[in-house]
Amino acid sequence: MSALLAVQAVDLSSSNTTLVIVVGAIAVFALGIAMVFRGQVLAANDGTENMKTIALAVQEGAAAYLSRQFKTLSVFAAAAFLLLFLLPVHGDGSETSLKIWRSIFFLIGAGFSAFIGYLGMWLATRANVRVAAAARNEGRDPAMKVAFRTGGTVGMATVGLGLLGAAAVVLFFQGDAPTVLEGFGFGAAMLAMFMRVGGGIFTKAADVGADLVGKVEQNIPEDDPRNAATIADNVGDNVGDCAGMAADLFESYAVMLVASLILGKIAFGEQGLVYPLIVPAIGVITAIIGVFLTKPRAGENGLKTINRSFYLSAIISAVLCTIAAFAYLPGSFSGLTGVSAEIAAQSGDPRVIATVSVIIGIVLAAVILALTGYYTGTEDKPVKDVGKTSMTGAATVILSGISVGFESAVYTALVIGAAVYGAFLVGGSGVVALFAIALAGCGLLTTVGVIVAMDTFGPVSDNAQGIAEMSGDVDGDAAQILTELDAVGNTTKAITKGIAIATAVLAATALFGSYTQSIAEVLSAEAIAKFDEASRVFDPSTLVGIIVGAAVVFMFSGLLINAVGRAAGAVVYEVRRQFRDIPGIMEGTGKPEYGKVVDICTRDSLRELATPGVLAIAAPIAVGFGLGASALAGYLAGAIAAGTLMAVFLANAGGAWDNAKKLVEDGNHGGKGSPAHEATIIGDTVGDPFKDTAGPAINPLIKVMNLVSVLIAPAVVSMTIGDDQNPVLRAVIAIAATLIIIGAVVVSKRRESVISDTPVEVKTAA
């Protein structure tokens, strides 16, 4: 703590103001490119009348769900807006003015996150039918191009809006930009978490319900139109994977910039407010190059094509960021503007620190891409081994998938830890080292445009295959093309989840430094020494905080998986009822009531939003005011550590199970309809809420908790070890937050699944 320094008043020079304006112009250019890609997608052929009818049902269901979700979330947004206004701020300008603008930019961040999510959903529900039509009429390469340009649209919009928001705040608020950006990042993170939670519950309730009744009980294909849950399943892909993940990656982008600018202002002064914007601006350019480079070669696997464009754009980013660092930053700390005397006296070259830190982040993204691809790809040993275990039943499939998840989590966590520690060593010590970690996150951000494109590619390909199967208008080679693209999409989704958790850890570590800096700003030297003493890891309060932080990650994950189980139970019951009560469904003469399953998923996912959200926001408040600032620091450390391992485990185990099922469906180990196929279906249904609900939602959870901690830090330390100690008020706040958490969890646990007691006839394979 003693290495953290008082904040200096920082204003931008005319040359730096011009640079920020240029960054803003690049952000606007990215938005323009997004519109170009969007036009290219919508210009593609949209298929047969049957395909259009199915696509329209998916579009209407997804739009209706998001509309209802945004109405529900408006209550949380209003409450958070008022809470932000009540919390103290620290900056160079008027406290009241900063409070107002911080709250306003909270709404802007939430609005941008909502817009990105809605854009991802809107375009994906129109691209899916076009990918299916392209596979049917033109072949694999045109189909892949439509799917990847859809992702490119969302990726460009993500980096464009994130960079535009940050650049505008820096331009207009200058030295006070980090304070205002706290609201921007919190708004983006909070909304993304809710969209991730709601969309994840919706999509996996429909998917699990559809698989258990259709594929296991009735022995019909995955997207057979006789299954009443198929439309809901396709809707879920869009509101969960497209809308939810797009919002998640946008908030990762926004929060990383927040952490970088908070620390950059202290560590690098005026240059620290500008260089973290230059790096992602370079990322915009390289992302555009990456999307245009995604052109399959003859006979090449689609995943190899996508990976090649990612690696090439990453290399270009590393070169351009190095040039930018040496062109913009001074060769010594004494050349920095607006830093403290202690920072100016440090030895070392800021250009080297910035360059190496950014490259560490870029290399981290590339390593995680390779590592996750290995553990979830259909052509690599782990997934093949999971597929082989299907010969001995569902239990061994589940065990082998769990093993893959655990093992991959260890290696991924070690790689992320090495990146964090490497950047810390490059920075030396104190706030400069923390800023180096934030710059590593900025380096990873240079790949976000391509990452979003990779992620959106997955659900669009999945939906395209579903529409093709439901319509009956796509068969032969075209159907095989869509199956291949779907398998590639499963792996790209897993890869982007791995990179997203890496971003979350880097952002959370940087925000952790911001938390300690927020404490330093409101404490006397004597109180800082007291905090240092209490924050040692073997101190009981800190150790308890670590345990509680890890426990919250487990509780959060359990709540979401349980919510999927309850909602999926209701879907299973409804689909069974329709097979039983609607004449002619199996013969194809009766029409399933698709809308009823969509309504069930919508209702159940929206009613489950509150409890995880309350846990994420109220738990840091309860720990901070109840146990003190050092315990809250431990809480954040525990949440980051447990969250990293849990998120990777859930994502990779689920991805391995999903692609093991694809291997069997491709004709291995008996193929479709065999006992091995049924075993992998069970594994896949277990993995669905792992990889698409609980795992991805941990990313925004970690950042929301860190941002809440940064926001409440001044109040916590003032009431615990500062000059305004108030044990009674502390106790009231902590008890109230704890009771709110307990109430929310109890209400959630009392909800029951709608499960039928009627025996079900399971149709076996011929």
Q: Which residue, 620, 380, 360, is CA-closest to 494?
A: 380
Q: Which residue, 574, 590, 594, is CA-closest to 582?
A: 590
Do the domain assignments include residue 19? no
Q: Which residue, 239, 242, 234, 663, is CA-closest to 470?
A: 234
Do the domain assignments include residue 369? yes
How far apart are alpha carbons 163 and 25 in whole angstroms? Answer: 10
177 to each of 95, 272, 519, 760, how far by Cα in Å?
13, 12, 18, 61
- 296 phi, psi to nearest 5 deg: -65, 145
394 to each of 58, 649, 664, how far by Cα in Å?
32, 19, 13
Q: Which residue, 641, 613, 476, is CA-closest to 549?
A: 641
Query: Residue 97 has which token pair?
Result: 């003015």
Query: Residue 236 has which token pair?
Result: 């879920």
How far apart are alpha carbons 144 and 377 in whole angstroms? Answer: 18
Tens digit of pLDDT for each residue in 215-251? 778 888 777 788 888 888 888 877 877 777 778 778 8
Q: For position 761, what pLDDT does the model report?
A: 46
Q: How many CA atoms lie within 13 A of 111 on its CB side?
A: 9
Low-confidence stretches of the chain (pLDDT beneath 70): 1-10, 89-94, 298-299, 513-538, 721-724, 751-766
How far apart are alpha carbons 717 and 17 in whole angstroms? Answer: 35
Do the domain assignments include residue 761? no
* Structural domain boundaries, residue 526: 64-122+178-269+330-445+468-750
- 752 phi, psi to nearest 5 deg: -115, 150
In the three-class reduction of DSSP (H, G, I as helix; E, B as strand; rest coil), residue 582 is classed as coil
Do the domain assignments include residue 294? no
Whether the model clears a pTM of 0.75, i.e. scores above it, the answer is yes
Those residues with Cβ within 8 angstroms of residue 651's Cβ, 6 or more apart along the chain or in another chain:
372, 405, 494, 497, 498, 501, 690, 691, 695, 696
Do the domain assignments include residue 154? no
Q: Cα(first)–Cα(last) distance of the chain, in Å?
A: 69
Query: Residue 747 has which token pair?
Result: 């209400």
Beta strands in 469-610 (DSSP E): none
How far apart are alpha carbons 130 and 46 in whole angstroms? Answer: 5
Query: Residue 439 has which token pair?
Result: 């710059």
The structure tokens 């070392």 sit at 348
Do the domain assignments include residue 733? yes
Q: For position 736, what pLDDT does the model report?
A: 92
**Domain count within the chain:** 1
Q: For position 766, what pLDDT does the model report?
A: 34
How far apart are alpha carbons 104 and 94 in whole angstroms? Answer: 15
Do the domain assignments include residue 189? yes
Q: For position 538, what pLDDT does the model report?
A: 62
Q: For position 759, what pLDDT does the model report?
A: 43
